Structure 1
Amino acid sequence: MGMEKVGGKGKDSSDSKKRGRRRQKKVSTVQKLYETCKEVFANCGPGIVPSPSDVERLKSVLDSMTEADVGLSPNMPFFRAKETERVPRITYLHLNDSAKFQIGIFCLPPSGVIPLHNHPGMTVFSKLLFGDMHIKSYDWVGDASHGIVLNENPSNNVIQPPNVEDPAGLRLAKVKVNSNFTAPKTSILYPADGGNMHCFTALTACAVLDVLGPPYSDPEGRHCAYFLDLPFANVSDSVDGESVPAEERECYAWLQEREIPEDLAMVGELYRGPKIVAN
């Protein structure tokens, strides 16, 4: 009788622990990213920047993420260039559907290039999960404040369009970044600051996790535009009528919108990492 009683308690205790473990099931990192994005971009929209505290909160989640959190590794086929391909093919993995934000991953084989393009009205978080990459980015030259108003109330963070010179269809831009990176912490660009137009060149196989708020939307006028960057000195040697010293001219360029580059080879593939449960 005593043994049966003890055995019964042990069974009840074991069942209780199992139920507790099920209740305490760990939330995946990618699910945490999704939930954080949902909160951060809840009151945002085109040209509206999340509050500084929300920017830091989302950046902190991304900083901690690795390729394993999204089910990737450098030895996967996405990251190998094929000898039969004239241009290395870039693979895009789409993680969620939302009118407020978009999460996706660009998988680049060595020498893969995402040409210079913009992010109209968007706040973008980019995390290089692994690999070596060269990044060149620009901001439009215009209002000294870049038109950004940051406020703890996201609804007040409205971006005013900058005043940009526009001679002969060209727009003046200033270089923000022109460097090589190795899996750095998260970079952030804003609608009018931080390198809104950028180009990625993979020096090795790379994976880039991107969060865009809001996403591109052709019906709403947020289409992805591509640009040629022309040397500043080839067009002018002054900004706002003031001559730019020769040693500073590499800091500027004239950008000209172009059609989608013919040598851009990008395909979409099904994301097979830890699932995101939308709610």
Structure 2
Amino acid sequence: MPRDNNTSLIQKIASQANITFKDFNASAIGDNKVFLDNRGDLINLLTEVRAADLKIAQMKPNGSHSDQSPPVTYMHICETESFSMGVFLLNSGASIPLHDHPGMNGMLKVLYGKVSIRCFDLLDKPPAQSESETQFDPPLLPSQKDCLRRAVLRATTWFTHDSSPCILTPHRENLHQIDAVDGPAVFLDILAPPYDPEDGRDCHYYQVLQTVPDADSKVEPQKEWEEETWLLEIGQPDGFWCGGEPYLGPKVSF
């Protein structure tokens, strides 16, 4: 098919995302060849995108946030019933805390800088050691015990603009923490379907209660851990908040 040079790359990405996630069925993801083929086409488009395609200027290399400025900023590009898309800008040292996207797909493409992404899965199986047998420091309050979750750390991976997109599914690596490494970082983010608390898709934050061996190591750029740990569901962490800026890149329409 001839390439349409009059259509911006971000419009092509948005159009393909709409095709890919229209009528998405999480339970049939592994058996749906059409969905997997469409997602593959979307991944190929995302692999090409750079900050210049969205007219995003690089942040100051040593920039950091003050108490008055947000550590993370979001630029909203578009949203349909099938997906939402925007850009996150992380200042030096900033982190998007461990959180989930319940029942949702996520696709993250770094535009510049470097990020470290830790991905967890919640476990349905009974843990080998129950919370009543586990000693936490500090000890949990009685009200916190209902917020305990058993999970497994799937991987810690570094991503740059040269990396393929990070892919998160409703069933795999859905919980994740994103840290800017060695300076500020910017990434394009697709969520499908969008957040909708009334439909059970609300964001939850988590705290890791047990240290996973080498989970915070920056030595290895990519490592699969498969280590089990305890997570505590918490409110939005102190010190984290997300500001907003207008998106000034090519327009996206449907």
TM-score bin (small chain): 0.7 to 0.9
Give structure 1 stretches of 5+ with no counterpart.
1-23, 143-162, 234-247
Counterpart in the other structure of 2:220: none
Q: Paired residue for 1:159?
A: none
Counterpart code for 2:12 = K
* Paired residue secondary structure (1:264): coil
Q: Of the candidates 59, 64, 67, which is equivalent to residue 81 of structure 1?
A: 64
Match of 1:254 among 226, 230, 234: 230
What one-letter code is carried by the residue in structure 2 that aligns with 1:111?
G
Match of 1:109 in 2: 91
AA partner of residue 110 (structure 2): L
2:151–2:228 contact (8 Å) kept in structure 1:
yes
Deviates more, 1:67-76 or 1:27-36: 67-76
Which residue matches 1:126? 108
CA distance in 2, matches of 1:197, 1:101: 18
Letter in structure 2 aligned against 1:114: I
Q: Where does residue 8 of structure 2 map in the other structure?
A: 28
Give the secondary-structure state (helix, strand or coil) at the position aligned to 1:270.
Answer: coil
1:224 aligned partner, one-letter code: C
Tell me how far 1:52 sits from its aligned partner. Answer: 1.5
Kept in 2, the 8 Å contact 1:28–1:274? The answer is yes
Relative distance call for 1:53 and 1:25 in structure 2 (3 A) is closer
Please identify, of 58-67 and 175-184, the stretch whose mean Cα deviation from structure 2 is larger.
Answer: 175-184
Residue by residue over 1:103-161, the C-alpha shift from the partner in whole angstroms, topping out at 9 and shown as x without a partner, is 0110011101100000100111111111111211101223xxxxxxxxxxxxxxxxxxx
Contact 2:154 2:226 (8 Å CA) reproduced:
no
Aligned to 1:263: 239
Name the aligned partner's letter for residue 85 of structure 1: D
Amino acid at match of 1:270: P
Task: Decide whether aligned partners of structure 1 residues 80 and 164 sit closer, same or farther in structure 2, where only a CA change above 3 A counts.
Answer: farther
What is the CA distance between 1:253 and its match in structure 2?
A: 1.4
More strand by proportion, 1 or 2?
Answer: 2
In structure 2, the residue matched to 1:98 is 80
* Distance of 1:188 and 1:115 partners within structure 2: 18
Look up the equivalent residue of 2:17 and give its one-letter code: C
Q: Structure 1 CA distance, aligned partners of 2:50 and 2:193?
A: 24
- 2:157 corresponds to: 179
Q: Which runs of 5+ in 2 are unaligned?
A: 132-144, 213-223
| 1:236 alignment partner in structure 2 | none
Distance apart, 1:231 and its partner CA: 1.0
Partner residue, 2:134: none
Deviation, 1:85, is 2.6
Q: Secondary structure at the match of 1:251?
A: strand
* 1:81 partner amino acid: S
- Whether the 8 Å CA contact 1:87–1:264 is kept in 2: the answer is no
- For residues 26 and 157 of structure 2, the distance between their equivalents in structure 1, rounded to whole angstroms, comes to 29
In angstroms, what is the RMSD of aligned CA positions? 2.6
1:40 and 2:20 matched: yes
Shift of 1:45: 5.2
Contact 1:45–1:213 under 8 Å retained in 2? no
3-state SS, counterpart of residue 100 of structure 1 = coil
Bigger proportion of residues as helix:
1
Work out the CA distance in 2 between the residues paired with 1:32 and 1:228.
37
Report the TM-score when normalising by structure 2: 0.77
Measure the CA separation in 2 of the matches of 1:66 and 1:115.
25
Q: Which residue identity is paired with 2:46?
A: L
Distance, in Å, in 2 between the alignment partners of 1:129 and 1:102 is 18
Greater relative contact order structure (CA < 8 Å, 6+ sep):
2
Name which one, 1 or 2, has greater alpha-carbon Rg. 1
Q: For residues 56 and 254 of structure 1, what CA distance do their matches in structure 2 show?
A: 34
CA distance in 1, matches of 2:113, 2:100: 23
1 CA distance for matches of 2:206 and 2:102? 13
